[in-house]
Amino acid sequence: MSDYITKKTSALLSKHRRTILLLMDIFVVAVAYSLTWVLISGRADMAAYFSLLVSSCFLFVSCFAIVYATTGMYDSLWRYAEIVEIFRCCMSSVVATGIFVVMTLILFKERRIPLSVYGLSAMFATTFTLYIRLVYRMYRNIKINKMGKKRRRVLVVGAGDAASTLLHEINKNPTKEMNVICAVDDDKNKVGRNLLGVHVMGTTDDIPNLVQQCQIETILIAIPTLDSQNKKRILDICASTNCNIRMLPDIVKIIKDDEDILSRITDVKVEDLLGREPIVLAQEAFEFLNNKTIMVTGGGGSIGSELCRQIANFKPKKLIIVDIYENSAYSIQQELKRKYGKKLNLDVRIASVRDTKKIDDLFDELRPEVIFHAAAHKHVPLMEDAPEEAVKNNVFGTYNCALCAEKYNAEKFVLISTDKAVNPTNVMGATKRICEMIIQNIAENTEGTTTFAAVRFGNVLGSNGSVIPLFKEQLAEGGPLTVTDKNVIRYFMTIPEAVSLVLEAGAISKKSGEIFVLDMGEPVKIVTLAENLIKMSGLIPYKDIDIVFTGLRPGEKLYEELLMDEEGLRKTDNNKIFIGAPLKMDASRFFTDLLELKATAYENDREKLMAKIETMVPTFNHMVIDDHY
């Protein structure tokens, strides 16, 4: 409640700051003028001068208020006040006093104001108005220092211009990151002095001792012009501590140096490239994850790892990560351990979803209640060259996991699908369409308790192997950025958006075999995405960085679709999520075709395999692009 009152009071003061400062100036200028008369005349003569005092005081205050307002004294933010602002205040006081003198000589001819009143009243008025502003600034600094107790303790290396600029910025814009405790500098003339309230406590050789003495957490090197030899020496000293080490960049070098492009793009946020506001889905629906044993296949990938992060927030009974690639599985395992420690019951298993016996053993042992199936080969051009691998991993990995989910009575099985499954033109999309058909047929032809669902969405910004990391690498190398065709358009999502959709689909899926589709707004041209990334990096498209059109790749089409015409759409409670109706299929024929597809895939006969895929997916229109395109 007290925080709320403080915030409301602060907002009110901010809104009416000009009026408040004007009223304070009127008050202190009036006091300064009256005090001058008291000091000069004494109490005995005050009665004789009272009428002159009142009338001239009104004129004095008016002169100061008008001049201060005219010269912009009420437009300055005094918590950032520097020498220029103090000089402006003094000059405004001189002008106001001059106007007052002229006005009194004209208006008060019969009774003259003592000459000493002019000088003393001007001095007092100037001093008092300055004191108000400086006291406010001191109050702000004290407040910032109190905030600093909760922030990371920082030692600054360097006490020159760069450090001074840094400290100015920290004082003006306090963050949760930095609380500067002390500084060091190899110029011994600076040791023992203060830089904007920060004590220079020694040289760089003293860093290890000061880190222990002052409980430093972060060392910030604020000497941008440091030569290579001294930089290595200082970094070696800093590395001997357990502190986080950061370096202040040379702003002038960043502006001038066109080679250091990578540093200019590392902070570009992928959601800024969407051309729309990120979609935020309701978190309440995800409570179905609480106290459940949850398995994520492909848990080390871009989508899988984000699924694990978000699921961990909802206190599952156990989170099981299954992945064949041990490096990515290890990475997400360590990340979750650092964040949750023993609060999260985490089990990581290295296994391939292709391995029928291994997957069955895992389900039998762990008995997952909710499965998110993200394991898949997803790169379109690579799968064009290896269709048998796409079938083995995508189709039969899904088949193995879905059968085990039904066999061991899992509550829900959610398949990660793609918009490329709609009227597919490439092998990857066709295999994903078969995956959707698998869960629909299992759902319709078994009497198990498992609810099956698929989630279909577009390209994911920033995922492994997606266009944004490729563009960033090309940008770091100085370009050009490569786009297949100037007319290629795609639906895009951020990784958190995609994962939120998957979780929400899992929450609201009731009828087995449903396919969930997200309304992702208007599709985005890939060339527009490339141009925006270049602009956000402070460069000019086609001038600083070129964009080259390389031609459509095998299996790639100009635009993607999210729904087949015959599927139709049904609304859900969330206006961003729709459900495509399951298609009617001949189950016995489908499962016969599936067995034949598996045998063909393991024969590695590509021509025969492609023919079988086309038979199973009637909407598959395989596009083969010539190399010379």
Beta strands in 500-551 (DSSP E): 514-518, 524-525, 547-549
User: 547-549 and 346-350: which strand pairing?
Assistant: unpaired
Burial call 149-187: b when 16+ CB within 10 Å, e when fewer:
eebbbbbbbbbeebbeebbeebbeebeeebbbbbbbbbe
Neighbours of 618 (CB within 10 A): 9
Give the closest residue to 476 by CA, choosing from 250, 259, 272, 249: 259
Distance of alpha carbon 370 from alpha carbon 366, whole angstroms: 11
Residue 342 is classified by DSSP as G
Q: Is the peptide bond before 174 cis (omega within 30 degrees of 0)?
A: no
Give the closest residue to 268 by CA, choosing from 475, 548, 485: 475
Burial class (CB in 10 A: 0-12, 13-18, 19+), 188: exposed
Distance of alpha carbon 419 from alpha carbon 422, whole angstroms: 6
- The pair of structure tokens assigned to 586 is 């001949």
Residue 270 is classified by DSSP as G
Tokens 């001189």, residue located: 94
User: 524-525 and 489-490: which strand pairing?
Assistant: antiparallel
Residue 343 is classified by DSSP as G
- The pair of structure tokens assigned to 306 is 């984000």
User: 218-221 and 244-247: which strand pairing?
Assistant: parallel
Tokens 């099956």, residue located: 452
- The pair of structure tokens assigned to 513 is 């075999």
Burial call 554-583: b when 16+ CB within 10 Å, e when fewer:
bbbbeebbbbeeebeeeeeebebbbbbebe
Give the closest residue to 423 by CA, choosing from 560, 589, 582: 560
Q: Which residues pair with 545 in a beta bridge?
A: 541
Give me the sign of the Cα torsion angle 89, 90, 95, 97.
positive
Q: Do residues 415 and 435 lie in contact, with contact meaning Cβ atoms separated by under 8 Å?
A: yes
Distance of alpha carbon 460 from alpha carbon 422, whole angstroms: 17
- The pair of structure tokens assigned to 529 is 């995405």
End-to-end CA distance of the chain: 67
Left, alpha or beta for 571 (phi > 0: left; psi -120 to 50: alpha)?
Answer: beta
- The pair of structure tokens assigned to 41 is 């005349």
Name the 3-class secondary structure at 152: strand
Burial call 321-339: b when 16+ CB within 10 Å, e when fewer:
bbbbeeebbeebbeebeee
Give me the sign of the Cα torsion angle 228, 233, 238, 241.
positive
Tokens 């061991």, residue located: 408
Give me the sign of the Cα torsion angle 80, 85, 90, 92.
negative
Give the closest residue to 559 by CA, choosing from 423, 462, 417: 423
Q: Which residues are catalytic?
A: 420
Neighbours of 2 (CB within 10 A): 6
